[in-house]
Amino acid sequence: MTAHPPAAARRGRSRRAVVPLAAVGVLLAGTALTGCGQQRDPDVYTVMNSSTDESYHRWDAEAMARCSKRLGVTVEQQSVPAAQVMTKALRMASSKSLPDIIQFDASEMPTFADAGGLVDLRSLGLSTDDVPKGIVNFGSYKGTYYGASRSVNTLALFYNKDILDEAGVKVPTTWDELRDAAKRLTQGKRYGIALSAGGAEDGVFQFAPFMWSNGGDETKLDSPEVAQALDYWKGLLKDGSLSKSTLNWTQADVNDQFMAGNAAMMINGPWQVETLNTDKSLHWEIARIPVPKAGEDSVGPLGGSVLTVPNTDDEQRERTAGKIVACLSSQKEQLTYALNSWMVPANAKAAAVWREKVPELDALADQVAAARSRTAKLGAGWSSVSLALQSAFQSALTGQSSEAALKLAQQRATSGNRG
Amino acid sequence: MTTSTVTAPASAGKPAAPDPARLRRRRGIAQWGFVAPAVVFMLLFFGYPLVRNVVMSFQHYTPKTFFTGEAPFNGGDNWADVFQDALFGKALWHTLVFTAGSLLGQFCIGLALAVFFNRRFPLNGVLRSLILLPWLVPMVVSGIVWRRILDQDTGVLNSFLDTIGLGGHTPWLTSPGMALFSVVLVNIWIGIPFNMVILYGGLQEIPRELYEAASLDGASAWRTFRSITLPMLKPVVTVVLVLGFMSTVKILDLILALTDGGPADSTQTLGTLTYQNSFVQLDFGAGAVVGNVLILISAVFAVFYLRANRTEGK
């Protein structure tokens, strides 16, 4: 307060005020630069996937190491949670920093392809000769083959053999048998069957085999076939053979219930097998999902992920990325991956070998052969139909009539500028 | 420059002092220098996203936009779509019920606990720190644990109710009529520590003499609470409620972990609706509309808060 600074110091002070400004400016420029276009390392290729589980991450790393060696490049994986793959890929697209390969859930692939984000795999030299038509379609959008699958999965009926034997219940094959078996297997705290009617994609995935096997279709949610399928679920609830908590269960929760002995049967997929096998005292087996009437086809939803090459405008790299995809989805790699993950190889020849090696999952291979992809008819429009359907079956299972709920769902799915 | 200082030596009795106008200007520059980083920060990290969100709500913003950079303006289409969607009205109502219910529960229990701990008794400190625990647990973890606790068949809560003979088949999270209530209960549990800590701090500030005087006058406990504690606590109460409101109204993580908005959309709030529009349907324009509504609601309350603060300043 006492002495006033001379002119030089005064300038110094105003300079001091400038320093923070300049620092902020530098920081901004820095972030802006790192945001745009990362420099790609010429011999390092990145695969973005959702293998955040330790075992999946390890299997992928091993497969990538083998392909790196064969192709003379380095392949690295970057694993993000499954729900974030799409949004992260979109952000990377806008900042021109897409990885060389993205592994999408097959139901999400059409959205990215529709935005113009993917390269035609056939143009990169990938062959689909040994891949069954259904699985080629699974990785295609509007007739173009964008995604190579290594393995596919679907849903099946898992049952606890000991409980069924003890109760003298035969493995159900039709809806009536399933309802009857579930009723007879319900005892005390144990329910006959567990499935996921949760308000997310899990629930829709589980509803699909009932809807489709009955001749229903996602393009017409208000048809009597879909309503009958929903009424069938309502019947299981009404009988008390299915816990009301089904509304809040994911497929992983369903598996927990089955393993804890709270359910004698469950609808679930092969990705649970690794967990199921951790309990040596649990004797489970699988069968095809029962159909409305004997002799009808059991149509399950095809699940799994596909390897895609995003559009990076760098043809040289895209071609190499295509080779990496070809290597990762080669017959040999498919078999290794399928045996590790308990899923069915996409390649027909690999699948034949797999059937011999894993006879206990034979029913699953049959179910896969007849399975259908969720996005085959609606493509990128699937997500809004899926949301409408979730809301509909949850309303119906908690009291509303199936017809009314589905009618509303159909209106919601087709209204607005969605899709 | 030097001449002015020389010609005005008598200005403030300090020989080297510059004239007041210059001094003020210099001080002004310095002040701006200090304020500038904050302003730049606010503009960049608050102003920009806010403006961007408003602009986005008038655009057809889809996955294609990320590749082409083109997001054509579509007037009020997004707004019309969102407002016509029956789910929006539902979500708005759920958000209001959720916020009002949570705040009421958190505040009342928090205040009761704060008053309780304001007395001196053994283990006071230990118990008080234990009550803080829900606050320290990440929201998603609490959500997942509570989802198990509230499971209709295998949950601990229903088993407990069964054991003491109070039914035990309550569909906490599986009945559309019940789920919102259960979610509010869990959020009250989460919010109690925050309310208690701040209110406890406020109580400690109230001079003990006031209570001594009240007891000399023979005031009842309720009278003391109403005439001394509450009025003296008013500024803290405002802070607690407004901060609580702002963090509650935008709830997302807890609901995603507990019910995912279900069953049958009975726990969809504006937060989950924004999430669903933007990150499930990838309709970013519609997501931005709901986001803007949320911002608007928060802004209204922020104004109330600033008003309340200003009147106290006087």
Name residues whose C-beta falls within 8 Å of residue A53's C-beta, 6 or more positions apart in sequence.
Answer: none
Kindly determine whether residue A17 and residue B152, on different chains, have CB atoms separated by under 8 Å: no
CA–CA separation, A21 and B244 (whole Å): 34
Side by side, the strands of the sheet bearing A156-160 are A191-194, A263-268, A156-160, A284-287
Decide if A316 contacts A326 (C-beta within 8 A).
Answer: no
Q: Cα(first)–Cα(last) distance of chain A, in Å?
A: 68
Nearest CA to CA, how far is B60 from chain A (Å)? Answer: 9
C-alpha distance from B271 to closest chain A C-alpha (Å): 16
Torsion of CA B276, B279, B283, B285, to 10 degrees: 90
Burial of B16: CB neighbours in 10 Å, binned 0-12, 13-18, 19+? exposed
Whether A119 contacts chain B with CB within 8 A:
no
CA distance linking residue B129 with residue B188, whole number of Å: 18
C-alpha distance from A339 to closest chain B C-alpha (Å): 32
pLDDT, tens digit (0-9, with 9 covering 90-100), for B68-80: 888 899 988 999 9
Domain ranges of chain A: 44-153+303-369, 156-301+378-414
Residues of chain B in contact with residue A14, where contact means CB-CB under 8 angstroms, are 26, 29-30, 33
Q: Does B126 reside within a domain?
A: yes
E strands present in B44-174: none
Q: What's the domain count of chain B?
A: 1
Measured between alpha carbons, how far is A367 from A270 in angstroms, rounded to an integer?
12
Query: Amino acid letter at B308?
Result: A
Going from the C-alpha of B137 to that of each of A268, A278, B108, the distances in angstroms are 32, 30, 22
The pLDDT, as a whole number, for residue B312 is 61
With b meaning 16 or more CB within 10 Å and e meaning fewer, what string describes B284-306?
Answer: bbbbbbbbbbbbebbeeeeeebe
Q: Quick one: which of B94, B111, B108, B88 has its CA closest to B249?
A: B94
Q: Between chain A and chain B, how many beta carbons pairs sit less than 8 Å apart? A: 148
Q: Which residues face A174 on adjacent strands?
A: A291
List the beta bridge partners of residue A194.
Answer: A266
Question: What dihedral angle (degrees, nearest 10) is formed by the CA atoms of A283, A285, A289, A293?
Answer: -100
Which pLDDT does position A38 carry in this prediction? 52
Instruction: State the pLDDT at residue A246.
Output: 92
Point out which residues pair with B168 in neighbouring strands.
none
ipTM over cut 0.85: no
Q: Where are the alpha helices (DSSP H) in A186-223?
A: 201-213
Q: How far apart are CA A27 and CA A264, in angstroms?
A: 60
Percent of chain B with pLDDT over 90: 47
Query: Nearest CA of chain B to the CA of A35: how many Å?
Result: 14
Task: Decide yes or no: CATH 1.10.3330.10 for domain A156-301+378-414.
Answer: no
CB B258 within 8 A of CB B143: yes
Q: Is the pLDDT of residue A306 over 90?
A: yes
Residue A401 near chain B (CB below 8 Å): no
DSSP per-residue string spanning A322-338: HHHHHHHTSHHHHHHHH
Interchain proximity B283–A417, CB inside 8 Å = yes
Residue A307's DSSP bridge partners are A103, A148
CA-nearest residue to B25 within chain A is: A14
Q: Which helix (H) or strand (E) holds A44?
A: strand A44-49
- Give the nearest partner residue to A117 out of B26, B67, B147, using CB atoms: B67
CATH number for B119:
1.10.3720.10
Rounded Cα–Cα distance for residues A217 and A223 (Å): 8
**A353 touches B: beta carbon within 8 Å:** no
Minimal-distance CA residue of chain A relative to B279: A87
Task: Give per-residue pLDDT as tens, B155-197.
Answer: 889 889 988 888 778 889 988 899 999 999 999 999 999 999 9
Ranges of chain B whose pLDDT falls below 50: 1-13
Task: Please give the mean pLDDT across all residues of chain A.
Answer: 87
pLDDT band for A23, please (50, 70, 90 cuts). low
**How many whole angstroms separate alpha carbon A42 and alpha carbon B88?**
49
**A11 in contact with B at a CB cutoff of 8 Å?**
no
Partnered with residue A285 across adjacent β-strands are A159
Q: What token pair was written down for B27? A: 């001080």
Same topology between domain A44-153+303-369 and domain A156-301+378-414: yes
Q: Which residue of B has its CA nearest to A3?
A: B16
The 3-state DSSP class for residue A191 equals strand
> Mutating which of B31, B35, B147, B280 best tests the A interface, going by the most A Cβ atoms within 10 A?
B280
Cβ <8 Å between A17 and B262: no
Token readout for B128 is 């008080």
Confidence of residue A376 (pLDDT cuts 50, 70, 90): confident
In a 13 Å sphere around the CA of B171, the CA atoms on its Cβ side amount to 15
Q: Mutate which of B22, B35, B174 to disrupt the A interface (most A C-beta within 10 Å)?
A: B174
C-alpha torsion sign, points B193, B199, B202, B204:
negative
pLDDT of residue A216: 93
Of all residues in chain B, the one with the smallest CA distance to A397 is B264
The reported pLDDT for the residue numbered B152 is 85
8 Å CB contact of B37 and A417: no
Structure letter (DSSP) for residue B279: I
pLDDT exceeding 70 applies to what percent of chain A?
90
From B102's Cα to the closest Cα of chain A, the distance in A is 22
What is the pLDDT confidence band of residue A3, given thresholds at 50, 70 and 90?
very low
Q: Across the interface, do B69 and A200 touch by the CB < 8 Å criterion? A: no
Q: Where are the alpha helices (DSSP H) in A36-119?
A: 54-71, 85-94, 109-114
**Smallest CA–CA separation between A48 and chain B, in Å?**
18
For domain A44-153+303-369, the CATH architecture is 3-Layer(aba) Sandwich (3.40)
Q: What is the dihedral of CA A215, B282, B175, A191, to 10 degrees?
A: 50
pLDDT value of position A25: 54
- Give contacts of B6 with chain A, Cβ < 8 Å: none
Nearest-CA distance A20 → chain B (Å): 6
Q: State whether A94 and B67 contact (CB < 8 Å).
A: yes
Cβ-defined contact of B276 to A387 (cutoff 8 Å): yes
Judged on CB neighbours under 10 Å (0-12, 13-18, 19+), A141 is: buried
Select from B16, B67, B153 the Cβ nearest to the Cβ of A4: B16
Instruction: Please judge whether A4 and B17 are an interchain contact, meaning their C-beta atoms are less than 8 angstroms apart.
Output: yes
Q: Is B12 helix (H, G, I), strand (E, B) or coil?
A: coil
Instruction: Give the model's pLDDT for residue A418.
Output: 43
Distance between CA atoms of A269 and A337, rounded to whole angstroms? 16
d(CA A241, CA A112): 41
pTM score over 0.90: no
Cβ-Cβ contacts under 8 Å, A400 against chain B = 264
Residue of A247, A258, A375, A378 best to disrupt the B interface, most CBs of B under 10 A: A247
Lowest mean pLDDT: which of A97-106, A145-154, A359-368? A359-368
For residue A45, list its beta bridge partners.
A75
In Å, the largest CA–CA distance within chain A is 101
**Residue at B232 is within a domain:** yes
Chain A nearest-CA residue for B178:
A398
Residue A37 pLDDT greater than 70, yes or no = no
Structural domain includes residue B14:
no
Rounded-to-integer distance, Cα A348 and Cα A363, Å: 16
Quick one: how far is CA A170 from the chain centroid?
Answer: 32
What's the rounded Cα separation, in Å, for the pair B74 and A41?
41
**Closest residue in B to A96 (Cα–Cα):** B67
pLDDT of residue A361: 87
Residue B270: which domain range? Answer: 83-313
Indicate the SS3 state at residue B113: helix
- Comparing alpha-carbon positions, the chain B residue that sits nearest to A16 is B33
Contacts of A80 (CB under 8 A, 6+ apart): A48, A50, A52, A88
Question: Considering CB atoms only, which of A199, A384, A416 is closest to B260?
Answer: A199
Asked if pLDDT for residue A196 goes beyond 50, the answer is yes
Best probe of the A interface among B5, B87, B260, by most A CBs < 10 A, is: B260
* Mean pLDDT to the nearest integer, A121-145: 90
pLDDT recorded at residue A34: 47
Residue B27 belongs to a domain: no
Identify the closest residue of chain A to B17 by CA–CA distance.
A4
Q: What single DSSP character describes residue A398?
A: T
